[in-house]
């Protein structure tokens, strides 16, 4: 089963890398604006996506100027130089949507990471607000169902936090490249 899981996970990573390259670049540029200026990058992970918060703030290679959004006393402490990274399993997650809406009302620019679901910019004509429709830049994790088919027809093995961390590292590497180029100027 590990071989099947690994093959399927590599396929998901390949689809993200192959289809989201412009979003990685746009998202990294947006977040780097805070890192090179007076702002901070506030990260909010919903449920298991707290893994991204902790990787960015307490991991072996923390993201420059990254802070957990939950560390703020009030969203009103944010400034227009701050940026936000919101991560959820699906683009329809209510907590992610409400957080994004609250930040947008304050003029904060947002990068979202989630799997696109019905509504938003997926193109099904729905008016439902989703993370991808609120965020300035969105990166699709492309993980809609578990990866391993079971003998009973049910699927299992839904590596949403692994996929989000893959996307996070793609953003972090691109931000590092941008900041290195800035230092060379």
| Residue pLDDT, tens place only, 67-80 | 999 999 999 999 99
User: In this structure, what are the phi and psi dihedrals at residue 97, rounded to the nearest 5 degrees?
Assistant: -65, -45
Determine the pLDDT at residue 39: 97
Burial class (CB in 10 A: 0-12, 13-18, 19+), 137: buried
* pLDDT mean across residues, the chain: 94
Q: What pLDDT is attached to residue 183?
A: 80
pLDDT interval class at 185 (50, 70, 90):
low
97-132 pLDDT per residue, tens: 999 999 999 999 999 999 999 754 444 444 589 999
Question: Residues 26-51: pLDDT tens digits?
Answer: 999 999 999 999 999 999 999 999 99
116, 118, 119, 120: CA torsion to nearest 10: 10
Band (pLDDT 50/70/90 cuts) for residue 182 is: confident
């Amino acid at each position: 089963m590990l071989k099947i899981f690994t093959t399927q996970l590599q396929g998901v990573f390949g689809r993200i890398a192959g289809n989201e390259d412009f979003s990685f670049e746009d998202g990294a540029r947006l977040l780097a604006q805070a890192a090179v200026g007076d702002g901070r990058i506030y990260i909010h992970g919903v449920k298991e996506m707290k893994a991204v918060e902790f990787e960015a703030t307490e991991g072996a290679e923390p993201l420059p100027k990254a802070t957990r959004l939950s560390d703020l006393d009030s969203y009103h402490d944010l400034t227009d130089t701050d940026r936000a990274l919101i991560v959820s399993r699906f683009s329809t997650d209510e907590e992610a949507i409400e957080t994004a809406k609250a930040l947008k009302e304050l003029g904060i620019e947002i990068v979202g990471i989630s799997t696109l679901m019905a509504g938003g910019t997926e193109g099904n004509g729905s008016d439902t607000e989703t993370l991808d429709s609120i965020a300035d830049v969105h990166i699709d994790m492309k993980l809609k169902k578990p990866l391993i088919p079971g003998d009973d027809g049910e699927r299992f093995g839904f590596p949403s936090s692994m996929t989000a961390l893959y996307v996070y590292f793609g953003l972090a590497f691109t931000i590092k490249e941008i900041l290195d180029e800035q230092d060379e100027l």
